[in-house]
Amino acid sequence: MRCINCLSTKTVINGFDNKCVQRYKCNGCGKRFCEKGFFARFRHPVGKIITAVRWRMKRWSCRETRDEVAEVLKIIVSHVTIWNWCMKFISILVLWASLIDDDYDKIIHVEEKFIRVRYSKDKFAYLFVAIDSKNKVIATFAANSRTTESAKIFLNKVGEKIIPEIIVTDKCQIYNKPCRIFGRKTKHVKAHFKPEGIVHDGKIFLLSNNRVERFNSDIDLFLHVFRGLKSFETAEIWIQGLMIYHNYLKPSEIKWSKIPKMITCQRQVIPRIIFYVNLSPF
């Protein structure tokens, strides 16, 4: 069994609790967990928690989700409980998504946008987003400033998942040097709203950054219900949750009702959509 905290397979049996539930200990991170997995300490039914998180990811505020949970699911909780459910469940979805072997397109689009984060260095913080030509989000990064160093950190995160053949940015100068980390074979195209032509593999491509700008509008709608993000840590969790929702849960292939069984047990599922057999961390 994999550790529910770090995905390590270095787990050993570690006795039973007072209800005779098997416990395990991870020799990687040193934490203990039981065979019930991530949902062991939740008081409410798992299906209703998943439904509440799904409603919250549909651009509802925590208070709107709280009211809907009380009316439809007949569960009386506070908006803080909804927030805590989202923080915990999104964190586990990030671990879940790390096991997926994605097939990204070799043409990626990179853009940064303003977001409000408390205690940011400037009036606004900056959110870097990379998306491929199939509209799949590759990586995100919330930075304190829009500098070459921030762009380099972000593109290193992108490089951990894919080495692109073409990278499309706007005409912001912070990307000039960081784009070189991909090597000479990666072509850097500077285009914003007006398409720029480029010849690649004997084909002519007209590329612009309209694709990532379209996803930025989804981010604006998602963050509209927030009164500013409380910290860079929570900002990263919410944005990663939106990325996972956009990549895997928004399409019709994956049903939200199947998520509890996917997480709590090792189940045969479709490769490339979720994860391979026996790779579940839970």
Share of the chain above pLDDT 90, in %: 18
Q: Per 3-state DSSP, what percentage of the chain is helix, strand, and coil (rounded to 5)?
A: 40, 20, 40
Q: How far is CA 91 from CA 3, 129, 239, in A?
A: 14, 19, 11
Give, as one character, the DSSP assignment of residue 52.
H
> What pLDDT sits at residue 274?
38
What residue spans define the domains of the chain?
Answer: 1-35, 44-99+251-282, 107-232
Asked if 82 and 65 count as a contact pair (C-beta separation under 8 A), the reply is yes
User: Has residue 260 got a pLDDT over 80?
Assistant: no
What is the dotted CATH code of the domain comprising 107-232? 3.30.420.10
User: Has residue 273 got a pLDDT over 70?
Assistant: no
> What pLDDT sits at residue 263?
54
User: Has residue 253 got a pLDDT over 60?
Assistant: no
Q: Which of 29-38, 163-172, 174-183 has the lowest mean pLDDT?
A: 29-38
Tell me how far apart the alpha carbons of residues 164 and 134 are, in angstroms, rounded to a whole number: 13
- pLDDT-based confidence at residue 36 (cuts at 50, 70, 90): low
Beta bridge partners of 110: 130
Q: Three-state SS across 110-136?
A: EEEEEECECCCCCCCEEEEEEEECCCC
User: Has residue 108 got a pLDDT over 80?
Assistant: yes
User: Has residue 281 got a pLDDT over 80?
Assistant: no
Q: What is the mean pLDDT of the chain?
A: 81
Give the three-state DSSP class for 232.
helix
Q: Which residue has the higher pLDDT, 270 or 136?
A: 136
> What pLDDT sits at residue 148?
92
Beta bridge partners of 57: none
User: Has residue 4 got a pLDDT over 80?
Assistant: no
- pLDDT-based confidence at residue 156 (cuts at 50, 70, 90): very high
Asked if 216 and 113 count as a contact pair (C-beta separation under 8 A), the reply is yes
User: Has residue 275 got a pLDDT over 50?
Assistant: no
Global pTM value: 0.78
